[in-house]
């Protein structure tokens, strides 16, 4: 098989270089980049201001990543949409469109599956298949804009996968989605959520991007955290907090902490007090998420009262905290559940066909 360039993953300067190598005038790079990232076409044939000859040449040496929608679920409650997309290699991923007053937000996946193994999460049940390319991540945003006819102003990297476990491609995605010749999204409107890979957080801090860093903490002590998240055996909460301080120092960006509340595991008053103790004095925000139970694990959601109490304890101790508003609860399925149920239904079909 001839190796073709994934042209939508190329930075503008790389498209320029490609065009130069093809012996064509540099201004063509601008046109191509605009077709790919502003008009978001999925074939070279649509690039009508390029000659047929040139389009064929490009087609011979490059591919344009495109996602195919397999299923779209729309919430009757708030218009939230869950998209199941097929990638060129047949893998499926999911993305979500949420409509908030402050603008439309797309939640993207960064890997096919995940290898972090968090107990409450559906995305990791079958492990990780592969990293997504920058172009595939961009396509999650581009296809949703096209299908929904909505302009997307915010992106959160909170779908399936661990973004910092796919570091290079995720940075490339960030470069491209904030590129002024493309979508020109503000870095401040992007949130990257991580389970806490300490060296990569420090590496990210060095880049001094203006994105918001969200840390999936989910516990106030290492022992409880280890019960929920295998990564906690590698990095302690203290190490994570130090990396967060470093991030704040270098970027000036307030850190978000996510805390999924699991009944009887991490949701009592003492846990809230411990968390407040840990975070007091830090410029941060805590997002409380009553856990969305998955059928494969015996974890229960905290009741409303425990969630409220947890929030109050934090607030009383000077730690900003909000309870995450549940979006699209009628089409629910936490992170990775749609993909999981789709995979199960197609696997069963295949087995039945034998
Ligand atoms: N790997 C990244 C981003 C993906 S998940 C991370 O760990 O941050 C986005 C957030 O949803 C994380 O805080 C994750 O822990 C949480 N999450 C995943 N499944 C959940 C569930 N079933 N209920 C509540 N929160 C969940």
150 and 239 inside one domain:
no
Q: What is the pLDDT along the chain (354 residues), one digit of tens a residue?
A: 568 999 999 999 999 999 999 998 889 999 999 999 999 999 999 999 999 999 999 999 999 999 999 999 999 988 999 999 999 999 999 999 999 888 999 999 999 999 999 999 999 999 999 999 999 999 999 999 999 999 999 999 999 999 999 999 999 999 999 999 999 999 999 999 999 999 999 999 999 999 999 999 999 999 999 999 999 999 999 999 999 999 999 999 999 999 999 999 999 999 999 999 999 999 999 999 999 988 888 899 999 999 999 999 999 999 999 998 877 778 865 567 778 777 777 766 544 443
228 lines ligand 1 (CB under 6 A): no
The residues with which 333 forms a beta bridge, in sequence order, are none
pLDDT at site 342:
78
CATH number at residue 275: 3.20.20.70
Q: What angle do CA 201, 203, 206 make, to 5 degrees?
A: 110
pLDDT at site 296:
87
314 and 208 inside one domain:
yes
Q: How far apart (Å, rounded) are the C-alpha atoms in residues 327 and 81?
A: 9
What is the 121 CA–ligand 1 centroid distance (Å)? 6
Tell me if 345 is assigned to some domain: no
Q: How far apart (Å, rounded) are the C-alpha atoms in residues 161 and 167?
A: 11
289 lines ligand 1 (CB under 6 A): yes
Lookup: tokens for 12 = 């503008």
Tell me if 349 is assigned to some domain: no
What's the pTM? 0.95
Tell me if 330 is assigned to some domain: no
What is the 334 CA–ligand 1 centroid distance (Å)? 8
The continuous run of DSSP H or E covering 68 comes out as: strand 68-74
Tell me if 192 is assigned to some domain: no
> Residues 178-188: pLDDT tens digits?
999 999 999 99
131 sits in the region (left: phi over 0; alpha: psi -120 to 50; else beta) called beta
What is the 335 CA–ligand 1 centroid distance (Å)? 7
DSSP class of residue 302? P
Tell me if 334 is assigned to some domain: no
DSSP class of residue 35? H
Helices (H), 22-150: 27-37, 52-61, 134-148
What is the 16 CA–ligand 1 centroid distance (Å)? 38
215 and 315 inside one domain:
yes
Lookup: tokens for 85 = 């997309």
55 and 79 inside one domain:
no
CATH number at residue 43: 1.10.150.530
107 and 158 inside one domain:
yes
164 and 153 inside one domain:
yes
Q: How many domains does the chain have?
A: 3
158 lines ligand 1 (CB under 6 A): yes
Of 63, 90, 106, the residue that ends a domain is 63
Tell me how far CA of residue 216 lies from CA of 51, 142, 289, in angstroms.
50, 27, 11
Tell me if 337 is assigned to some domain: no
28 and 81 inside one domain:
no
* Longest CA span, the chain: 70
CA 202 to chain centre: 19
48 and 103 inside one domain:
no
Side-chain half-sphere CA neighbours of 276 within 13 A: 20
Tell me if 329 is assigned to some domain: no
Is 136 one of the catalytic residues? no
The residues with which 289 forms a beta bridge, in sequence order, are 260
214 and 269 inside one domain:
yes
Domain containing residue 47: 5-63
Tell me if 30 is assigned to some domain: yes
102 and 53 inside one domain:
no
Of 149, 183, 217, the residue that ends a domain is 183
147 and 38 inside one domain:
no
Is 62 one of the catalytic residues? no
The continuous run of DSSP H or E covering 173 comes out as: helix 167-177
| Closest atom of ligand 1 relative to the 165 alpha carbon | 1
108 and 48 inside one domain:
no
Closest Cα to atom 18, ligand 1: which residue?
Answer: 121
Of 15, 44, 63, the residue that ends a domain is 63
Task: Please report, to the nearest 10 degrees, the dihedral formed by the alpha carbons of residues 264, 268, 271, 272 taken in order.
Answer: 140
Tell me how far CA of residue 7 lies from CA of 42, 62, 174, 212, 275, in angstroms.
11, 6, 16, 28, 46
């Amino acid at each position: 098989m001839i190796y073709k360039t994934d042209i939508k993953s190329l930075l503008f300067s790389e498209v320029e270089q490609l065009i130069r190598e093809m012996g064509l005038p540099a201004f063509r790079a601008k046109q191509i980049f605009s077709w790919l990232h502003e008009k978001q076409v999925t074939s070279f044939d649509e690039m009508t201001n390029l000659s047929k000859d040139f389009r064929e040449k490009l087609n011979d040496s490059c591919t344009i990543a495109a996602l195919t929608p397999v299923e779209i679920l729309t919430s009757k409650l708030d218009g939230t949409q869950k998209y199941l997309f097929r990638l060129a290699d047949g893998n499926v991923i999911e993305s979500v469109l949420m409509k908030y007053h402050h603008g439309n937000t797309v939640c993207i996946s960064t890997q096919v599956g995940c290898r972090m193994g968090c107990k409450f999460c559906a995305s990791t049940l079958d492990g990780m298949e592969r990293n997504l390319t920058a172009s595939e991540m961009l396509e999650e945003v581009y296809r949703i804009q096209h299908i929904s006819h909505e302009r997307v102003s915010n992106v959160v990297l909170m779908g399936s996968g661990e973004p910092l476990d796919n570091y290079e491609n995720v940075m490339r995605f960030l470069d491209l989605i904030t590129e002024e010749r493309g979508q020109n999204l503000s870095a401040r409107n992007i949130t990257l959520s991580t389970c806490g890979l300490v060296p990569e957080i420090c590496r990210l801090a060095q880049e001094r991007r203006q994105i918001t860093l969200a840390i999936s903490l989910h516990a106030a002590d290492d022992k409880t955290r280890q019960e929920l998240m295998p990564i906690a055996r590698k990095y302690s909460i203290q190490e994570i907090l130090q990396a967060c301080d470093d991030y704040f120092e270098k970027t000036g960006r307030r850190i978000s902490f996510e805390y999924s509340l699991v009944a009887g595991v991490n949701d009592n008053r003492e846990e809230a007090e411990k968390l407040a103790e840990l975070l007091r004095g830090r410029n941060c925000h805590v997002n409380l998420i009553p856990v969305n139970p998955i059928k494969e694990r015996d974890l229960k959601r905290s009741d409303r009262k425990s969630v409220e109490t947890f929030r109050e304890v934090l607030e009383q101790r000077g730690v900003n905290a909000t309870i995450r508003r549940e979006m699209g609860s009628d089409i629910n399925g936490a992170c990775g559940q749609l993909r999981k149920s789709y995979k199960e239904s197609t696997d069963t079909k295949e087995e039945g066909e034998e």
